[in-house]
Copies of this chain bind each other. A is one copy, B any other.
Amino acid sequence: MGVDEYLSELKRKVAASLPSVRVKNVEFEGPVLVIYVENPQELAESGDVIKKLAKDLRKRILIRPDPKSLKPPEEAKEIIRQIVPEDAQVTSFFFDHENGEVIIEAEKPGIVIGKQGVMLREIMKAVGWSPKVMRTPPIKSKTVDNVRQFLLSSREERKEILKKIGVKIHRGSFHEEKWVRVTFLGGSREVGRSCYLLQTPESKILIDCGVNVSNIQQSPYLYVPELQPLDSIDAVVITHAHLDHCGLVPILYKYGYRGPIYLTPPTRDLMVLLQLDFIEVGAREGNPVVYESNLVREALKHTITIDYGVVTDISPDIRLTFYNAGHILGSSIAHFHIGEGLYNIAFSGDFKFERTRLFDKAETNFPRLEALIMEATYGSGNDFQPARREAEERLISIIKETVDKKGKVLIPTFAVGRSQEVMIALEEAIRTKKLEGLTVYLDGMIYEATAIHTAYPEYLNTHLRDMIFHHGLNPFISESFTQVDSSSKRADVIDEAEPSVILATSGMLNGGPVMEYFRHLAGDEKNTIVFVGYQAEGTLGRRIQKGWKEVPLTSNGRREVVEVKMNVETVDGFSGHSDRRQLMNYVRALSSRPEKVITVHGDESKCLDLASSIYKTYKIETRAPMNLETIRFV
């Protein structure tokens, strides 16, 4: 059945289910079935009919008002302002033409909604647009704004892209044979350049496409013949925004890929932030150019966001569902349902099987699961990390001691993930007076990354969401945090007499604003540097951690030697990765026991150790493949 027949059949079914609604058109945009309706107000009353229809059709459905029934944005804005009482404090409108929605941001969203949504219905009747109300985010994120603006400006092109993708997804199945296999193209028996090809006779799905951050010359094996031509790939799926999982996505478009990128909304925004930063850092350090920002935008144009738990067709025989991975904002386990009940395989990405300050622990509840491709960063028998609570207590006591000596605490961190975990822990300690009257400075991309976190409160754990929504207490906007965004401010922070805590990038001291702090603070034994993340061999961070008393540094092209007199501490336990115990527990906790577990994303010995332990403990078949190998599952 081609897409045209499919659509006309759908049209008949929709008309039968919604007799009072005037359906103008039905079409696919990417994986979503869009129903254009002339009288969308009718639907406001009959929400369940749509849900039922979606379930029957096994399709994601989006109702869009017929464009003719929408007031022009400027006019609509005026009408809404007249309807909504002033004390709602509406701060912005965003007209989403793709979905026929108007997003209304307000300080008091409850007032815009009205009793039982009465005001929303009034707005819709008056302007045609379907209103969505959001709390005005407490910190403005440039990235979120830029992404929104860019998608809006490329709306027409995007619509064409989505239609083509829709046709491709619904092209029908042609092969009688059934098989499922995965080729490992990067990130196997190593950390970095994660990339996997999931294949059936019908489909090719690329999962992640990362850089090897410690050696950017080493790409995934994208040139192998099974990927050629690149546009034979049906879909790219990104588990999370770290560069070792998405850093090379833009070059796919350089070499001919034109298809979709599926990811969660926060992953999309963080990915753009980190890819642009990757370009900037590369240029600053004189690395060969891997790609330029136009390709980041080209990739962005092809993104299709999916929230956790939403089942989505991404090819004729594959359905994708993202589940929380607990690793960073928007991080997901990508679950693929293949054929109609033929096979289920999940790629864990990086995951944390422990509840943290920010996230719930990784999901273990899948409708079905026959194979799991899982990370093994801490896969060795001795890779145990202290519990998060212990780690926090140690960090706070180290800070306390330093503050008591009137010293400063420097914490090098990556912008995304660990920074926010440390921030929330510090905020609580300050609020509960474990630490008193302390300023926490945020330098580098940390502030912007935090702003993106505040834009997606629904991706944080239930406790944090509850605090933000019901107790009006958003730890990210605590007055204890101060952004540092210029070198003069940086100098002030360094010169200040008061003790303070400084979170600055990069996490391993191979560049970034942390270098400037380190140069000035290293010589004073009152100060402390605290490592909360893994320090790779060969980095400056590793040398300091090992206790070098003098370290060579290059700043502004000048080489100097910095004496390290400051106190050097390491606090384990803040990792976003599951430790050995959590990895093992995760496999046991899975709601359906897989037949096969494949270990990746870890040094060779860790992948092998974890694979053999899972086999011995649970009698599940395991493998630790090499890059370029292919494993068959069906």
Q: Chain A residues in contact with chain B, CB under 8 A?
A: 179, 181, 183, 199, 201, 204, 223-228, 232, 626-632
Q: Which 7 A-B pairs have the closest CB atoms?
A: A630-B630, A226-B226, A225-B226, A628-B632, A626-B632, A629-B632, A629-B630
Q: Which residues of B contact A204 (CB under 8 A)?
A: 225
- A181 contact from B179, B223, B228, B628, Cβ within 8 A: B628
Q: Which of chain B's residues have a CB closer than 8 A to the CB of A628? A: 179, 181, 630, 632
B-chain residues with CB within 8 Å of residue A630 when the two chains form the complex? 183, 628-630
> In the bound complex, what is the Cα–Cα distance between A632 and B189 (angstroms)?
13
CB distance from A185 to the nearest CB of B (A): 11
Given contacts A628-B632, A630-B630, 4 further A-B contacts (CB under 8 A): A181-B629, A199-B225, A628-B630, A629-B632
Chain B nearest CB, measured from A272 CB (Å): 30
Majority-rule SS of A interface residues: mixed
The 13 sampled A-B contact pairs (Cβ below 8 Å) are A183-B630, A199-B225, A201-B223, A224-B226, A225-B225, A225-B227, A225-B228, A225-B232, A626-B632, A627-B632, A628-B632, A629-B630, A629-B631
- A60 shortest CB reach to chain B, Å: 29
Give the number of copies in the complex: 2
Min C-beta distance of A309 to chain B, whole Å:
32
Q: How far is the CB of A178 from chain B (nearest CB, A)?
A: 11
A537 to chain B, nearest CB (A): 23
- Chain B contacts for A227, CB-based, 8 A: 225
For A181, what are the chain B residues with a Cβ–Cβ distance below 8 Å? 628-629
Closest to A199 in B: B225
Q: Which residue of B lies closest to A183 (CB)?
A: B630
* Smallest Cβ-Cβ distance to A176: which chain B residue: B217
Report A339 CB to chain B, min CB distance, Å: 16
| Chain B hits for A225, CB < 8 A | 199, 204, 225-228, 232
**CA A181 – CA B631 in complex, angstroms?**
13
Which residue in chain B gives the minimum CB-CB distance to A224? B226
User: Which residue on B lies nearest to A227, using beta carbons?
Assistant: B225
CB distance from A587 to the nearest CB of B (A): 23
Q: Which chain B residue has the least Cβ–Cβ distance from A179?
A: B628
Complex alpha-carbon distance, A227 and B199, angstroms: 14
Pick the most buried of A225, A232, A629: most chain B CB atoms within 10 A of its CB. Answer: A225
Residues of B near A183 (CB, < 8 A) are 630
Question: Nearest CB to that of A627 among chain B residues?
Answer: B632
Which residues of B lie under 8 Å from residue A228 when comparing CB positions?
Answer: 225, 228
